[in-house]
């Protein structure tokens, strides 16, 4: 994230002001996330974050916790500003979509390391199945220490992708697939035009 993209206290409405804008803002974010939410196989969903989605998260946290002090809200900004992508970057929340206790006990130990196994596969694949560009996810450093476990994985991860200028041009040209290449889970989804166009706004 670059400083000019970071949210500040001035960007966060107080509780009364936020209640007045909340319905319209929530509808805007729901529509935005519909384009930026990508299912990869049956149990993994990736939501690409940007300044708007992060602001919504902070506003909703402040609302739920009834935060009124600058210090409280600044703490949330410090935690979540790192999820705003800088130029040439994409930032995402990865969800392992499991609800039953048995599924959680079965899958979460198998999926250790999944936060490093998400790939952007850019361009047309060759006959051997290789791609001109493959960009692998990196866990967001500020959250990695608290989320990483040796024996099991949490159901939510924060990951980032860093693209070179050449890869950004190739991303714009397409096609682009989002894939999980983990020993216990492999799946791939091609990004739609609307999703790719939205993400290009982050990369610019």
Strands (E), 50-182: 89-96, 118-122, 133-136, 138-139, 156-162, 176-182
Residues of the chain falling short of pLDDT 50:
none
The pLDDT score that the predictor gives to residue 1 is 54
φ, ψ dihedrals at 177, nearest 5°: -115, 145
The pLDDT score that the predictor gives to residue 149 is 66
φ, ψ dihedrals at 48, nearest 5°: -80, 125
Look at residues 80, 16, 29 and name the one whose alpha carbon lies nearest to residue 56.
29
Look at residues 12, 18, 26, 95 and name the one whose alpha carbon lies nearest to residue 55.
12
The pLDDT score that the predictor gives to residue 142 is 73
The pLDDT score that the predictor gives to residue 5 is 87
Question: Residues near 24 by Cβ (< 8 Å), separated by ≥ 6?
Answer: none
CB 96 within 8 A of CB 40: no
Let me know if 168 is exposed, middle or buried by CB neighbors in 10 A (0-12, 13-18, 19+): middle
pTM (predicted TM-score): 0.91
What number of residues does the chain have? 204
Rounded Cα distance between 88 and 202, Å, is 7
Tally of CB atoms within 10 A around 3: 8
CB 33 within 8 A of CB 54: no
DSSP states of 133-160 = EEEE-EE-HHHHHHH--SS---SEEEEE
End-to-end CA distance of the chain: 12
């Amino acid at each position: 994230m670059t400083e000019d993209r970071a949210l500040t206290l001035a960007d966060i409405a107080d509780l009364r002001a936020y209640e007045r804008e909340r319905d319209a803002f929530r509808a805007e974010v729901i529509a935005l996330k519909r384009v930026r939410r990508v299912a990869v196989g049956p149990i993994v969903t990736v939501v690409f974050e940007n300044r708007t989605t992060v602001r919504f998260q902070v506003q909703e946290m402040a609302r739920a916790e009834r935060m009124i002090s600058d210090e409280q809200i600044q703490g949330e900004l410090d935690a979540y500003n790192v999820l705003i992508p800088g130029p040439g970057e994409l930032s995402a929340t990865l969800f392992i979509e499991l609800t039953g206790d048995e599924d959680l006990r079965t899958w979460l130990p198998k999926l250790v390391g999944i936060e490093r196994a998400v790939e952007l596969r850019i361009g047309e694949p060759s006959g051997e199945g290789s791609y001109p560009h493959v960009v692998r996810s990196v866990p967001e450093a500020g959250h990695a220490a608290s989320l990483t476990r040796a024996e099991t994985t949490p159901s939510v991860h924060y990951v980032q992708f860093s693209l070179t200028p050449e890869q950004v041009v190739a991303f714009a040209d397409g096609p682009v697939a989002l894939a999980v290449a983990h020993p216990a889970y492999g799946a791939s989804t091609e990004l739609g035009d609307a999703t790719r166009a939205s993400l290009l706004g982050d990369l610019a």
